[in-house]
Amino acid sequence: MTDRYSRQIMFKHIGEMGQEKIGQKHVLIIGCGALGSANAENLVRAGIGKLTIIDRDYVEITNLQRQNLFTEKDCDEQLPKVIAAKKRLEEINSSVCIVPHVLDANFETLCPIIERSSIDLIIDATDNFDTRFLINDISLKYNIPWIMGSCVGSMGMSFTILPGQTPCLQCLLDSLPVSGATCDSVGIVSPAVQMVTAFQSTEALKILVEDYYSLRTTLVTFDLWSNYFQTIRVERAKKEHCPTCGKQPSYPYLQYDSQTKTELLCGRNTVQIRTGKKIPIDRLAKRLKKVGQLRVNPYLLSIDYQSYRAVIFRDGRVLIHGTNSKEIAKKIYHQLIG
């Protein structure tokens, strides 16, 4: 297997010792869309020992423009992203242990995975700041470094957070160029994804080979279309009384009141409802076959109902496409599931 990674081993900052370390490490990627799938592919090609991937969604046709792991066949079969990703990644490197989780990343789902696994690094590939703040609290509580990344339009940003050393996401609130734009509202070009992925994957390799001295200490932001690039020094942003990384942390996003039970999904005219209990898909399919057009696979049930489409996952999540109203979404949910 040395020949497989020979060009990476020749790179003096990795070498044989670094390659051996990479093969012993476990990375958790939260989100398997554009950033998640690209980072996953980079790490699998680099020879990561174990990769755990979490995502709540399934492959859609609009994903194919920028999410490199997926195909039209995955879209036709409505495969969950992590299942499609696992299949493709194992074709790339069969020696990597890949663990997929078709579930929503929240306190109840993430903490058990963290606690029963020895995770060396978390990579943020999510599409919302609620989940990022959750990752931030979990990272600091369990002393796991994490790499933030986001992109929209032709813009992107990234920052590496080391518990006890760097400012955390809570500390950076005043420094982040946050807007309300999403991929679904203003679009995105794939080079922006590739740029953020390059920053994240490179920082990941530095952490995996334990070359902490080479880690970038600045927040990087860019706009490829406007030819803009900036690095921002943020070391002074670290706050002594930060609720996540301060002297007396309370980890606010790990509290029950901070957990979202019903949420809008990234400008997609879709509401997600989390039930907290598994749904018997097979039995439900029999009951709903006369209600609307059904599509069923081992992981989910999709039904066209009135002017909406409901996608029901076994883990208890339901996506109601066609509305931004939580009230309407709940009404459709109760009409279909009870």
- Residue ranges per structural domain of the chain: 3-257, 261-336
Task: Name, in order, each residue with C-beta under 8 angstroms of 45's C-beta and a sequence gap of 6 or more.
Answer: 92, 93
The least confident of 40-44, 182-186, 199-203 is: 182-186
Q: Kindly report the CA angle at 325 between 254 and 64, in degrees rounded to 5?
A: 80
Q: What is the DSSP letter of 189?
A: -
Cβ atoms of 64 and 33 closer than 8 Å: no
* Cross-strand partners of 124: 30
Task: Name, in order, each residue with C-beta under 8 angstroms of 195's C-beta and a sequence gap of 6 or more.
Answer: 151, 156, 222, 224
Helix and strand numbers (H, E) in the chain are 11, 14
pLDDT in tens, 147-178: 999 999 999 999 999 999 999 999 998 667 66
End-to-end CA distance of the chain: 54
Q: Which amino acid is at 197?
A: T
Domain 3-257 listed as CATH 3.40.50.720: yes
Q: How far apart are CA 233 and CA 225, in angstroms?
A: 23
Q: How far apart are CA 215 and CA 199, in angstroms?
A: 10
Q: Token pair 């020979």 is at which residue?
A: 6
The least confident of 57-66, 225-234, 268-277, 288-297 is: 268-277
Q: What is the pLDDT of residue 303?
A: 92
The least confident of 52-61, 172-181, 296-305 is: 172-181
Cβ atoms of 153 and 187 closer than 8 Å: yes
Residue 230, number of CB atoms within 10 A of its CB: 12
- Whether the pLDDT of residue 198 is over 60: the answer is yes
Q: Kindly report the CA angle at 47 between 44 and 53, in degrees rounded to 5?
A: 35
Cβ atoms of 271 and 320 closer than 8 Å: yes
- pTM to 2 decimal places: 0.83
CATH topology of domain 261-336: TATA-Binding Protein (3.30.310)
Tell me how far apart the 2 most distant CA atoms of the chain are, in Å. Answer: 64
Share of the chain above pLDDT 70, in %: 93
Q: What is the pLDDT of residue 316?
A: 84
Cα–Cα nearest to 56, from 307, 323, 277, 311: 311
Q: How far apart are CA 131 and CA 127, in angstroms?
A: 8
- Whether the pLDDT of residue 184 is over 70: the answer is no
Q: How far apart are CA 311 and CA 282, in angstroms?
A: 14
Q: Return the CA Rg of the chain.
A: 20
Q: 218-223 and 155-161: which strand pairing?
A: antiparallel
Q: What is the DSSP letter of 166?
A: S
